[in-house]
Structure 1
Amino acid sequence: MPLKSCINFIIFILPIFLFAQVEEINPPDYIKTVNFGGDTEETQLPIISYGDYVNLEFDALNGNEEDYYYKIKHFNFDWTPSVLVQSEYMEGFDNQRIRNYENSFNTFQMFSHYRLTIPNKDTRRLKVSGNYMLYIYDNQGELIFTRKFMVYEDKVGVGVAVKRSRDIKVIESKQRVELLVASNGMQLNNPYQTVKAVIIQNNNLKSAIKNIKPQYTLGSDLVYKYDSETSFGGGNEYFYFENKDVRRASNGVQYIELNDLYENFLFTNASRANQPYTYYPDINGNFLVNNIDAANNNVEADYVWVHFSLVGADHFKNKNIHVYGSFNNYAIDDSTLMTYNAERNVFTAALLLKQGFYNYKYVAVDSNNNVNEGLISGNFWQTENSYKVLIYYRELGARYDRIIGFGEGNSVNITN
């Protein structure tokens, strides 16, 4: 390629690389039970206050006791790379080995359990708020997986109210989120340009509504009373199972077998899209590792093959059906894809999961990887969902996006 053409190609492609949005990279099959949360939260989406801790735990099932390393990078509100250099957003350094790990004890499946806490003696402090990505590498320098997390400053008040839709066409199936951002004396210059809100349903960042600007101002407060722009499908309560004792059938487990590992066969589920809404408590897609006989769940909870089954129905027989939940960060991949058995008229899948309590649902996925959560579960305005809201602010002339406020709401007391 001539030099001039090469230079032109670089000039063309470089901005695309610099300003491309990053997505999380899922771990390989031998990395399981990635548990990522704040110091006190039981959640897979760490949204931590400035100065708090974030904890990462995962199991490596290859039995090699490999070394793993981590790096941290800062991003803009839309997950494009930030222009800040490391010394501007971090005190200390990263690219350090994860030193805290234990080997499994008294389990059929051998594994090593790794734990990382940030800040630590090497990465002493994250100096600014905003979006961050945690990168995990092996000892060959190969990227294993990534996870997003957010650090916020408690500068503004964020009121969150969950309402029924005002659109009569979807009033039975959607929930909308109203926001009131109280400035608390903070000067928010030109908020229609500098302030953006992100709304997250049930800790699932993949389905979040992003880049929502204030609808209008009321004194120094920002008001968001949109209808369709801040509406989510209500979905349905999650299915669940519990296998804290792998030797006997429990909640959601029909029967068990013991081969190389224990195998749990769940009761067969059916589509609820055309059924009346029925409330039963769930944990909004989350999971909790638990072994009833263990002193230390991290290394004594065993791995079990969990067999899922779903009765086929005409409206989704020709679609890709996946098992969906926080157990794999809502990822859609080959491991969660269900296989249709025409003789039995059921979709089946088997997932290797650590003992505990799990929420899950079934979703349909099209050829473009678009997820339809309501096709099988249905969408109901009564469904109990949790919502988290992040308020981003970039002052005029600033070089990065701060998160200046965080709020939470729940649809358990939804109103018209």
Structure 2
Amino acid sequence: MLHKLKQNFLFFILFCITYTSFFAQNVTNDIVTADNIRTVQLSNGSDFSGIPILRLGESFKITFDDINGDESDYYYRINHYNFDWTPSSLYKNEYLDGFDEIRIVNYENSFNTLQMYSHYTLNIPNEDTRGLKVSGNYQIEIYNDDDETVLVRKLIVYEPSTTVKVYTKRSRNLKYIDSKQSVQFEISSPNEILRNPNKTVKTLVMQNNDITNAITNLVPQFTLANDLVYKYDQESSFWGGNEFLFFDNKNVRASNVSIRSIELKDIYNNYLYTNIVRANRKYTYNPDINGGFVVRNLDAENNNTEADYVWMHFSLECYKPIDGGQIHLYGNFNNYKLDKSTLLEFNKERGIYYNKRLFKQGFYNYKYVLLRPDGTIDPGFISGNFDETENEYTVIPYYRAPGARYDRAIGKGIGNSSSITN
């Protein structure tokens, strides 16, 4: 009997550990779980590219389209997370002023479009949710009447209690001097002593606000008075990548520098010019918006409801299939997620990779990346990696004082590789 009780106890402990590990891994995934949810944007007056970073007390809104166009009811809930995106130990009333799990009442139906859709807007603060009380990591979950999650979106809320200086350097390793960019930074805390920073201070370093390839394991190398100094090389380096490609279909019935031809079926189809592999070519400067997008219709008064949806046809010149990997479209149009809608299929007869995906009219940045069998993303396999590439780097420091129950985001620093130095 005692032996059986021990077995049951061990099974229970194993179950708890497995469940906790599974949950911790899955809360990090920003997944639009419903195919009918499109064009998700989070804005504080200007649209964010990548993960939104807001100052504590700042208002914002999240918008999305439901291409079913049936005026479905959607609700939202807001949760607080630790630095590693595991749930924090704070109670709801400790981080949220007001209530969540409220229906989104602000929506409009599309007007004069071939593709019907309903456009939803959630403003924070509102009469039910008056605001967020503390800094840190948050997740907004949108769900339907059946309590099925249709959209999850992360955001970071910071309090400006530190100053973060960010510098971009070329790699000190000659092997990568032409292909990598190293991020160095200093965190200055004039009003608060950051005790035992090797254990209590964590940092998030991102390229173009893309959290999928962020660096999170850095500790300060040394301190100068109240300053924490991070002068790493390889440990804080990113592949330089290449400038994003783009298309602009603000006029859905006209071809332009990126759109080769147009066809009207049930809705408009835009065929882009075939792209080429840039990894074996020299770097060419091409201004971009670092993976972002802007919804717009040249003939519309209200882009939210009058911009139409279009099937965009992508093609990449390649004469043999990639063995053991997949080529995907990559950009903030779906929050840098790789899924079946971004996968390119190989056409042996034409010698190209091909994809057709639904986009709302506008200006979009995109590039092609290789998804390796081990789940890692190679951003330069198709596009190449160049130290001249213009990238924006963001550093967010977090601090959990001894005895505290959550990780505060205590600042924000931005640097740009256009001012890269040796």
Shorter-chain TM-score tier: over 0.9
Offset, 1:155: 0.2
Does residue 1:66 correspond to 2:39, yes or no?
Answer: no
Partner of 1:304: 310
Q: State which of 350, 368, 375 in structure 2 corresponds to 1:362.
A: 368
Q: Where does residue 128 of structure 2 map in the other structure?
A: 122
Distance in 1 (CA, whole Å) between partners of 2:103 and 2:259 is 39
Alpha-carbon distance in structure 2 between the residues aligned to 1:86 and 1:42: 26
Deviation (angstroms), 1:314: 5.1
1:287 aligns with 2:293: yes
Residue-pair matches, total: 416
1:340 CA displacement: 0.6
Alignment of 1:33-52 (within 5 A): 33-52=39-58
Structure 2 distance, partners of 1:330, 1:42, is 13
CA distance in 2, matches of 1:402, 1:360: 33
**TM-score w.r.t. length of structure 2:** 0.95
Deviations 1:84-137 (A, max 9, x none): 111111111100001110000000000000011112111112111000011110
Aligned pair 1:103/2:109, yes or no?
A: yes
Equivalence for 1:406: 412
Does residue 237 (structure 1) correspond to residue 243 (structure 2)? The answer is: yes
AA in 2 matched with 1:308 = F
Q: Supply the distance in 2 between the matched residues of 1:118 and 1:313 (Cα, whole angstroms).
A: 50
Q: Which runs of 5+ in 2 are unaligned?
A: none
**Alpha-carbon RMSD:** 1.6
State the alpha-carbon separation in 2 of the partners of residues 145 and 228 from structure 1. Answer: 36
**Take 1:134 and 1:10, find their aligned partners in 2: how far apart are those partners?**
31
Residues 110-189 of structure 1 aligned to structure 2 (within 5 Å): 110-189=116-195
- Hey, what's the Cα distance between the residues in 2 that align with 1:192 and 1:16? 29
* Contact kept in structure 1, 2:220 and 2:230, CA below 8 Å: yes
Query: Cα deviations across residues 274-328 of structure 1 (Å, max 9, x unaligned)?
Result: 1000001000011110100000000000000000000015583653111111101
Cα separation, 2, equivalents of 1:131 and 1:61? 30
Are the aligned partners of 1:38 and 1:47 in contact in 2 as well (CA < 8 Å)? no
**1:219–1:378 distance in 2 versus 1, CA, 3 Å:** same
Normalising by structure 1, report the TM-score: 0.97
Residues 315-324 or 396-405, more deviating: 315-324
The answer to whether residue 234 in structure 2 is matched with residue 220 in structure 1 is: no
CA distance in structure 2 between the partners assigned to 1:385 and 1:112 by the alignment: 35
Higher mean alpha-carbon deviation, 206-215 vs 241-250, is at: 206-215
Partner of 1:348: 354
Secondary structure (helix, strand or coil) at the match of 1:309 reads strand
SS in 2 for 1:13: helix
- C-alpha distance in 2 between matches for 1:37 and 1:401: 24
Higher deviation after alignment, 62-71 or 308-317: 308-317
Q: Which residue of 1 aligns with 2:381?
A: 375
2:50 and 2:300 mapped to 1: Cα distance?
Answer: 23
Tell me, in whole angstroms, the C-alpha distance in 2 between the residues paired with 1:37 and 1:215. Answer: 36
Identity score, percent: 52
What is the CA–CA distance in structure 1 between the aligned matches of 2:291 and 2:186, rounded to whole Å?
27
Counterpart amino acid of 2:11? F
Q: What secondary structure does 1:334 align onto?
A: coil
What one-letter code is carried by the residue in structure 1 that aligns with 2:207? Q
Quote the residue 1:248 is aligned against.
254
Report SS of the residue matched to 1:212: coil
Gaps of 5+ in 1: none
1:82 paired residue number: 88
Whether the 8 Å contact between 1:180 and 1:223 is mirrored in structure 2 is yes
- Which residue, out of 4, 11, 14, partners 2:13? 11
SS in 1 for 2:411: strand
C-alpha distance after superposition, 1:170-199 (max 9, x if no partner): 111000001011112211111111111111
Question: 2:279 matched to 1:273?
Answer: yes
- Equivalent residue number for residue 415 of structure 1: 421
**Aligned pairs (5 A) from 1:334-345:** 334-345=340-351
Amino acid at match of 1:323: L
For the residue of structure 2 that corresponds to 1:12, the secondary structure is helix
